[in-house]
Amino acid sequence: MSAALLSGDDDPEEVSLIARGIATAVSPEGGLTDTQADLLEAIAASLTGVTLDYRALEPLGPEELHDALVDHGDEFRHRIVQYMVLGELVLRPLPTAVSFRVATYAKALDVEDKFVRVARRYAQGAYGLAWMDLQRNGFADHVRGAVDVDAPDRSTGHGSGDPFAPAQVDPELAERWSAFRECPTGSLGRGVIDMYEGRGFKIPGLPGAAPAYLAQHDFVHVLADYGTNLQGELEVFALIARADPDPKGFAWLATLFGLFETGYIADTGFFKRDTSGGHYAVAPGMNRRIADAIQRGKVVCARTERDLFEVDYYRVADRSVGEVREMLGVPPKSAVALEEGSPGIFDLQGMSDQQRRFALERSGDDG
């Protein structure tokens, strides 16, 4: 999980030491759950190329992990703690002992990560307070900090007081999105408008549409070729979270897990909790699909060092999807993700039931 990840030069011994520390930190009484082990194994394999059996790892205490990582920088250790938090967030209920143990490891690694406290709130059942912490220390400060340095731009939501405020009717913005219909076939703009119209989404600027800032992630759906059902949302936000050079970008993935995986979060204002279909992160193959998305995000981060929500996609809307992917360094999905059934942006399997019905009716196919 170091810079060497991109060259495949990871030291298997160090990878194993880190995995031992993570597993020890997040293990509830009785050992890691299958959900935890499968997800953490997939992430380790995708990021390092090293295959581990998390269920068979020997314990490693916080001070020993600190000693193993003493030569690594702050960001490296911060990412390790965040994988611990991810290992916590798939537990429901989340044992208090696990949340406090992760906090002990974070302190030993000299990492002050607000998501450690968020997980502790979950463990204590204080879901409302946890969401407030997530807003304050994850979403709100991070996003407003990025927004404030840019000139006001109605297309991305920059300059608005709150980028997560309910969308406002904006005829100029709606017209700008409508103009994507004139973009060439195969272009980014044409892809995103086809995605919207093919699913019955309202374009930004119209009543009931998504806020302009949040709509930025729809360009990533097209570029990364991820569906728009809940599994696809987990994939796209896993990529976006890891692509952000600021570790606070992890808030995206933490929130999506809280919404769709464990139900800790009820309503963010732009996504609603929905665990009716089961546990999305542990559905067959989802551990490897999420791990691949994290790895793709790491590649983007290394190549561009930009928050994908801050990219001006409007300026490149008429360029081909392939050209913009190359510009941002978005790699293709791995063979493993494809084998696990990760659907593309225009595949029916990548749509929710409602989206699929609309698409079939629009095409004249009653299914």
Q: Which residue has the tokens 């208090």?
A: 96
Residues 120 and 216 in one domain: no
Same domain for 138 and 50: no
Same domain, 32 and 21: yes
Query: Of 90, 125, 160, which residue sits at a domain end?
Result: 125
320: helix, strand or coil: strand
Q: Are residues 97 and 45 in the same domain?
A: yes
Q: Are residues 22 and 144 in the same domain?
A: no
Positive or negative, the Cα torsion across 165, 167, 172, 177? positive
Domain end among 106, 125, 144: 125
Global pTM value: 0.84
Question: Does residue 134 share a domain with residue 19?
Answer: no
Residue 14 and residue 59 share a domain: yes
168 shares a domain with 109: no
Quick one: 113 and 161 in the same domain?
no
Let me know whether 149 and 226 are in one domain. yes
CB-based burial, 164-188: b 16+ in 10 Å, e otherwise: beebeebeebbebbeebeebeeebb
pLDDT in tens, the chain (367 residues): 333 333 345 899 999 999 999 999 999 999 999 989 999 999 999 999 999 999 999 999 999 999 999 999 999 998 999 899 889 888 878 888 998 999 999 999 998 866 665 555 554 454 444 444 445 444 444 444 444 333 334 444 443 445 556 668 899 999 999 999 999 999 999 999 999 999 999 999 999 888 888 889 999 999 999 999 888 988 998 999 899 998 878 877 876 776 566 555 444 444 554 545 455 555 789 999 999 999 999 999 999 988 998 999 999 999 999 999 999 999 999 999 999 999 999 999 999 889 999 999 988 765 5
Query: Does one domain contain both 21 and 90?
Result: yes
Euclidean distance between CA atoms 118 and 35, whole angstroms? 20
Residue 98 · residue 88 · CB < 8 Å:
yes
- pLDDT tens column, 242-277: 999 988 788 778 767 765 665 554 444 445 545 454
Instruction: Indicate if 198 and 297 belong to the same structural domain.
Output: yes
Q: Looking at 98, 125, 152, which one is the last position of a domain?
A: 125
Q: Which residues form the domain of 72? A: 1-125
Q: Say how many domains are in the chain.
A: 2
- Spatial neighbors of 6 by CB under 8 A, at least 6 apart, are 298, 299, 302
